[in-house]
Structure 1
């Protein structure tokens, strides 16, 4: 039996748009995760990260949950954007609003990590994730108007954003001056 590579190539090419749509949101998430994981552990893997010393909500999951959860959520939202793109027939007038909302909320999504982990500004991160949640809701509604499956694919993302907002709120309320707390922790470790 001879393998016809042209069939495999045609099969892959017919799905490259879906694959690219799934990979795109993950790339931003992975880049943020890799960069800020290095920032969190700047002083060495043997020491606890500053984040570990924060007072966190009792419902805060283990750190290892975040990577897989975001990979699934980014993949779902990416595929949803592909369904909207296909349903509209490309970047045509009908696709401008839902895909612009999608792009905007994706940029907001990627912005939260530098604010929370980079700037360590928990209040600004809370404000940002609240705006993000509104943008994600608007995106979900616009996706539902184009393709029901695309809309449903964003529902778990909305639920996770609500959960993440509650975690951010708890950290903000229970760690009132994060920069001072982080500096005190670093000072203690050097003495």
Structure 2
């Protein structure tokens, strides 16, 4: 029985395949190319018990691709994996080998591989939340600038109704007005995305 660990990076990955005695049978750095990775795993496929990939920011393409061609995939929760305290030499090969080792022992802390359709909805919700947060940042920035320059206060709802002409009448400096208008421009972009045409912006609250 064989076990594969893949240490994934932005443009390459280190692939290690070990047997049930932790003997390394394959160890090589490969480009982030699904066809090349599949070709590397192919000679060992019949005996591969599982493939473990790090839960990095860019794992989707690799995990999904290997699942699609029939491999048993595991997503490593790398923050929960501790290397041996006495390990003196660390590197990509060592990390990949350790992933395979922990998988073999049945001690791998795993992350959930959410199905692609549901994952897309989750990621869209996260993107929407980023825009909501960005909108709030712009509103607070405008409120802060006006408080600094005029001593006045303006509600968040009133900020949303502002147009560039309103800024010119507020008695702030030319440079400050440019900054506020920039905030408004970003605010409008945030409002225009992820808002169904039939809904008001308050649906994002």
Q: Does the alignment reach a TM-score above 0.5?
A: no
Instruction: Please report the TM-score for the alignment, with normalisation by the length of structure 2.
Output: 0.26
Task: Answer 1 or 2: which has greater helix percent.
Answer: 1
Which of the pair has the greater relative contact order for Cα pairs under 8 Å at 6+ separation? 1
> Which structure features the higher share of strand residues?
2
Max radius of gyration: which structure? 2
What is the TM-score of this pair, normalised by structure 1? 0.28
